[in-house]
Amino acid sequence: MKAPFGLIFVFVVIMFLAGCVDENVSDNGSSGSGIVGFKDLLPAEIAALAEDFYPAGWTRQSILDKLPEAVNKTGNMEFDEWSGVVLITGDMHIVDLTIQPGTIVFISANSDDQHDGWTSTVDPVNPHEFFGENYSYEHVFIQVSGELVARGTADEPIIITSTSSDPWLADWEKIVFERGVLEYAVVEYGSGMAIESSDVTISHCLIRDMLSQGVMFGTWPEAGMTGESISPNITCNYMYNFGHMAVQSFFSEPHIFNNIFIHKYTKDPELYDYLNLGENGGLDIHGGNGTIEYNFISYGYNVDMEKESQLGGPGIGICEATAPEICFNTIVGNKWGIELQGGMPRVNNNNIYNNQKGDLIVRTVYSEPGRESEVMVYKRPLDFKNNYWGVGEEDSVISKMNIGNGVEVSANPISTSLVQSAGPDWSEFEWFYS
């Protein structure tokens, strides 16, 4: 059951090549060493939330106090319905699963009574994430091969968390589901989640502290992903603290709308340094198309803790034959705003500024072996019109990019002030603090 997802864990991440531009960007958009803090751009109520906050009046301690009430679950079943307090003690394969509003789902930390999985002696891509050859035997994996119906409410969110009183990334392994809905839920302290069809909506969730990614999907046979190209809806979520990306899409066409993505939110020095390993960012759009609209995307640059050698990655990384529409987003506080390794996205009406090494970087065109014929090279100007860059002249805008010889960018007309409609509808996140 689990071997394909072990390959996902081992192989799936885009390794961005090293590179930079000559100028940094200051708070006012001119060259300099400063960079705007991402919290300065969030509504005060969201910026004031503690890193480990819970909605609906919950605290970490009040959640843990419920653990003695839990009903244990493990193994395989055709259908199950969870309510109250549930403790997952081992790998589960469920055909269809319903989770009622207000349910607390504990997942045993670093433990698996099914002791099922695969062995691996090395992670060739991300050795800093290798936890030992028996990792998968000691971490819970949940697969819903049919439909997941997990509808919390603002007053009764679903909480999926670790049993540990001192939780960490990847206390449990993955949740994978084929189709369904996950809304008004907190999902934390795992390796990540994966989805397998277009019939998926993830909305109004708090997804954080994940070893790999918040949500991953699509097909990438070269890396062991044997899924399908899909078009899920990912909307109105708040995601932060990831070892890789908040969302990784492979040869798919997602609708990613009205979210907050912050790669590093933490002030914990150990976690901060760990999340800085590798050049990771907000969204990884690897092949395919889709729409990326009305999101807030930041690496979470913290001027008090950042090191020049640990600047992270792009707000949006685009690779191979990729042509998404990227409109009405705010992309700030990343190493680069947008990174292209092949692809012709349409990038209009965004706020793209205060990104440490540049607002756009175009790298050597990249393709998987056998896909060279599908690569989109830059034979026409890139469409980057009507964006706000912090400066008003095209020459100044282009000077803040690293686009290489032979690549043209069509930036005019340029917005001379912030695009007011760019970024999320902040009212969708009021349930976190109201």
In this predicted model, what pLDDT tens digit does every residue of 275-301 receive, in sequence order? Answer: 877 667 899 998 889 999 999 999 886
Instruction: Name the pairing type of β-strands 260-262 and 296-298.
Output: parallel
E runs forming strands in 266-355: 283-288, 291-293, 296-298, 314-322, 325-327, 330-332, 336-341, 346-348, 351-353
For residue 121, give every residue at least 6 positions away whose Cβ sits within 8 Å of its Cβ, in sequence order, or none.
133
pLDDT tens over the chain, length 434 residues: 343 444 343 333 333 323 333 333 233 232 333 455 678 889 999 999 999 999 999 999 999 999 999 999 999 999 999 999 999 999 999 999 999 999 999 999 999 999 877 655 555 445 456 566 677 778 999 999 999 999 999 999 999 999 999 999 999 999 999 999 999 999 999 999 999 999 999 999 999 999 888 999 998 776 666 778 999 999 999 999 998 889 999 999 999 999 999 988 888 888 887 887 766 789 999 888 999 999 999 988 666 666 655 556 899 999 888 899 999 999 998 888 999 988 899 999 999 998 888 899 998 777 777 777 777 778 889 999 999 998 767 778 888 898 877 889 999 999 999 999 999 999 999 999 98
Write the DSSP symbol of residue 5: H
Find how far residue 226's CA is from the centre of its chain. 20
* Phi-psi label, residue 400: left if phi above 0, alpha if psi -120 to 50, beta otherwise: alpha
Taking Cα atoms as reference points, which of 216, 1, 277 lies closest to residue 114? 1
Q: What is the pLDDT of residue 310?
A: 56
**Whats the size of the chain, residue-wise?**
434
How far are the Cα atoms of 76, 90, 115, 201, 239 from residue 246, in angstroms, in the given order? 29, 26, 29, 16, 6
Here the tokens at position 299 are 């690496």
* Structure-block tokens of residue 313: 């990655």
Q: pLDDT, tens digit, for every residue of 145-204?
A: 999 999 999 999 999 999 999 999 999 999 999 999 999 999 999 999 999 999 999 999
Separation of alpha carbons 246 and 424, rounded Å? 16
Instruction: For the chain, report the end-to-end CA distance as a whole number of angstroms.
Output: 42
d(CA 63, CA 93): 25
Short-list 149, 150, 148, 160, CA closest to 54: 160
Say if residue 319 is exposed, middle or buried (CB neighbours under 10 Å; 0-12, 13-18, 19+).
buried
pLDDT at 192: 92
Structure confidence at residue 343 (pLDDT): 86
What HEC string does 95-129 produce? EEEEECCCCEEEECCCCCCCCCCCCCCCCCCCHHH
